[in-house]
Structures are given as structure tokens and as C-alpha cells.
DNA sequence: CTAAATGCAAAGCCTTTGCAAGTCT
DNA sequence: AGACTTGCAAAGGCTTTGCATTTAG
């Protein structure tokens, strides 16, 4: 099921306002926020919440498979409530991080397996460039 | 040209034994070592060299385009003297990091461009699984 | 000689940990 | 009530920085 409270209870985890806020924020954004961004965004609603709680919650959500951690090369992680490991697109212009269509992934894996004898299990794929908006604005 | 001393001199950088050792080590390995690994490996030949020097040298080598930084998701970077951004394969069994054939990359980019309007400029592609050796050893 | 690099230690940044106080069930 | 979670501050791991000393050109 998709109801967070039920999932947490099933696992013997407590349902706290902070946890609900964090997972709900992640589920309602496409921005792939960092812990810091989550923290700041929720600060208005939870002024006393600490960054440590955000990290602990994210750790827990990772462990129960509700969230995945991304590393697009920024020195801090980003988080994604979409847990199937889909490719990402990162814009050099505006730093947005977009998802790449899932069906693209199948095609990519098909290509790779032509070139390696590895038994492939997972992947972290980051494509960098300019998003449709930025590629028009930019000079070169 | 490919002669390190000449490249450094051309850029007004000094040729030091430490720098030569680091770049030579990177050019002669396929292991994609971390700064720590480089440091430890060279310690026998350069007992007084500090980790800071390794980091400063790697930073410099990045800047002049002789080395690229990889992040395979380990909490520390790895370094690669092969600076074209080729895909990597990481083995869950033995943690080795292999290169994927360059021609695979062209195919992959061709696939991706079918699915996005991004203007693609670069990519960091990590495929995880079991290398040919480990996939035979493992149980599942 | 003198500009740049090294090596040491200290500082920084992101993340994790310890623990008392507070909250969920 | 009892166990888990929060929030604060301190600690950790990797990387960077500052600065006096040393080295390359």
C-alpha cells in the first residue's frame, strides 16, 4: 500500500509529524532536494526541527526503501521518493535535476549489455547538459 | 603532447617528484584509486609526502584536464587519468571499478537523445553488478 | 634569487552519533 | 508506562586552507 502511516506502523516505526512532513515533501516535488533544502523548506512549519532529524529520517526512509539517495556530484546528496533507479538529467544552466523516462533505461541497459560481461544489477546514470529552457538562453 | 613535464612547464607549473609520481601512478593503473590509496601507495617512495599534497596535485591535474574525478558512491572520490567521460562498471563482489568500452558510450548517448530535449554535454554513468569473476563465485 | 610547491596542522563541510528530554502507541 | 524519536551539541570522515619551510627554474 501507499499510505505512509501504515507502512511505518507495519515496521514498528513511529509516525511523527516530522517524518510525515519529510516524506510528503519528497513525494510532492520533482526537485530532488538535498537534506539542507528539505530542512529549510520545512523550517517554516517545523521551526524547532533539527537537521539531524532530517538526516535520521532520510536514513530510515532509505532503509525501508521509500527513498533513494542521489549523488549528482555536488558534495551533498539529493533525495528522491522515486526509488527505482532511473537516469537523471542535470542542467548546467539552472542546476535542475530531471528524471529521464523509464523506458529509456531499458534501452540503455540493452546497449550496455552488448559491451560487457558484467551481470548488471543497478545503475546510477547522470547526463549533464542544458535543459530545453536553458539551451535557448545560452550563448554558445 | 603526452609528456607530463612539458605539459606542466607549458602552463608555468613546476615539475616536482611528487607530481610526477602521482600522475604516473594514475596513468599506470586501471584501479581508479582514491586520494588515500594514492597516498598510501606512494608512501614507500615518498615517506614525507603529505595527503594534502596529493589533494593539491589532484586538484591541479583536474584543472589542467589531465585527470578526472569519479564518484561511484563511496564517500570519497576516485581518480582517473582517462579524462574522456566514459561509463564505469562497479562490481558489488570485489568493488573493482572497470571502464566500459568507449564505443558503448556513443550508443548510449544515441539512445538517451531519443528520450530528452536536453542538449547533452557530458555524463557520469555507473553500472553496478557482478564482474565476470564474481558472478561465477556468488551464490544467488 | 624568487615564485611556486610541500608538509604540517588547523579549519570546513556534510553527515553521523550520543544522550537527555520529549512523544507516540 | 515503555520504547522510540527528537533536538542539541559534539564527533567523524574527507577535503581544503593557511602558512612557514623548502625546492624548482
Q: Do A129 and B114 touch (CB under 8 A)?
A: no
Nearest nucleotide, C1' to the C-alpha of A48?
Answer: D7
Instruction: Please check if A42 is assigned to a binding site.
Output: no
- Chain A positions touching B137 (Cβ under 8 A) are none
Q: Which pLDDT score, from 0 to 100, does residue A97 have? A: 85
Same domain, A21 and A43: yes
Looking at the complex, does the CB of residue A136 fall below 8 Å from at least one CB of chain B?
A: no
Same domain, B71 and B101: no
Q: Residue B10: is its pLDDT beyond 90?
A: yes
Q: Which pLDDT score, from 0 to 100, does residue A29 have? A: 94
A65-97 pLDDT, tens digit per residue, is: 999 999 887 889 999 999 988 898 988 877 788
Same domain, A48 and A4: yes
Looking at the complex, does the CB of residue B103 fall below 8 Å from at least one CB of chain A?
A: yes
Q: Residue B42: is its pLDDT beyond 60?
A: yes
Nearest chain B residue to A76 by CA distance is B75
Q: Which pLDDT score, from 0 to 100, does residue A71 have? A: 87
Same domain, B73 and B89: no
Instruction: Please check if A14 is assigned to a binding site.
Output: no
Q: How far apart are CA B34 and CA B63, in angstroms?
A: 17
Instruction: Please check if A52 is assigned to a binding site.
Output: no
Residue numbers of the domain that contains B36: 1-83
CA proximity to A102, closest of A81, A113, A88: A88
CB A120 within 8 A of CB B127: yes
Nearest nucleotide, C1' to the C-alpha of A53?
Answer: D6
Same domain, B33 and B66: yes
Same domain, B27 and B76: yes
Q: Which pLDDT score, from 0 to 100, does residue B38 have? A: 98
Q: How far apart are CA B54 and CA B59, in angstroms?
A: 9
Beta strand ranges found along B1-140 (DSSP E): 68-70, 78-80, 88-91, 97-99, 119-130
Q: How far apart are CA B137 and CA A65, in angstroms?
A: 28
Q: Do A100 and B108 touch (CB under 8 A)?
A: no
Q: Residue B106 burial by CB count (10 A; 0-12/13-18/19+): exposed, middle or buried?
A: exposed
Same domain, A50 and A72: yes
Looking at the complex, does the CB of residue B75 fall below 8 Å from at least one CB of chain A?
A: no
Residues A23-43 have a mean pLDDT of: 96
CB A82 within 8 A of CB B109: no
Same domain, B94 and B79: no
Residue B132: CATH number of its domain: 3.30.1490.190
In chain B, the number of structural domains is 2
Same domain, B93 and B75: no
- Chain A positions touching B132 (Cβ under 8 A) are 117-118
Same domain, A75 and A90: no
Mean pLDDT, all residues of chain B: 91
- Three-state SS for B69? strand
Helix axes A17-27, A35-43, angle to 10 degrees: 110
Same domain, A11 and A72: yes
Same domain, B77 and B9: yes
Q: Which pLDDT score, from 0 to 100, does residue B71 have? A: 87
Q: Residue A133: is its pLDDT beyond 60?
A: yes
Residues B79-95 have a mean pLDDT of: 87
With cut-offs at 50, 70 and 90, classify the pLDDT of residue A112. Answer: very high
B98-140 pLDDT, tens digit per residue, is: 999 888 999 999 999 999 999 998 898 989 899 999 988 865 5
Residues in chain A: 140
Last residue of a domain, one of B36, B54, B83: B83
Q: What angle do CA A124, A22, B72 make, to 5 degrees?
A: 20
Cα A94 to the center of its chain, rounded Å = 17
Q: Which pLDDT score, from 0 to 100, does residue A2 have? A: 67
Q: Do B123 and A121 touch (CB under 8 A)?
A: no
Q: Which pLDDT score, from 0 to 100, does residue B139 have? A: 53
Amino acid at each position: 500500500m501507499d499510505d505512509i502511516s501504515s507502512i511505518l506502523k507495519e515496521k514498528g516505526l513511529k509516525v511523527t509529524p516530522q517524518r510525515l512532513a519529510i516524506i510528503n515533501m519528497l513525494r510532492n516535488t520533482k526537485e530532488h532536494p538535498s537534506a539542507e533544502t528539505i530542512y529549510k523548506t520545512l523550517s517554516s512549519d517545523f521551526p524547532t526541527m533539527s537537521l539531524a532529524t532530517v538526516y535520521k529520517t532520510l536514513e530510515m526512509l532509505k532503509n525501508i526503501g521509500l527513498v533513494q539517495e542521489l549523488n549528482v556530484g555536488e558534495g551533498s546528496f539529493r533525495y528522491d521518493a522515486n526509488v527505482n533507479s532511473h537516469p537523471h538529467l542535470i542542467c548546467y544552466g539552472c542546476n535542475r535535476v530531471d528524471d529521464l523516462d523509464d523506458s529509456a533505461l531499458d534501452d540503455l541497459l540493452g546497449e550496455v549489455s552488448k559491451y560487457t560481461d558484467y551481470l548488471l544489477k543497478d545503475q546510477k546514470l547522470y547526463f549533464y547538459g542544458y535543459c530545453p529552457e536553458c539551451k535557448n538562453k545560452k550563448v554558445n
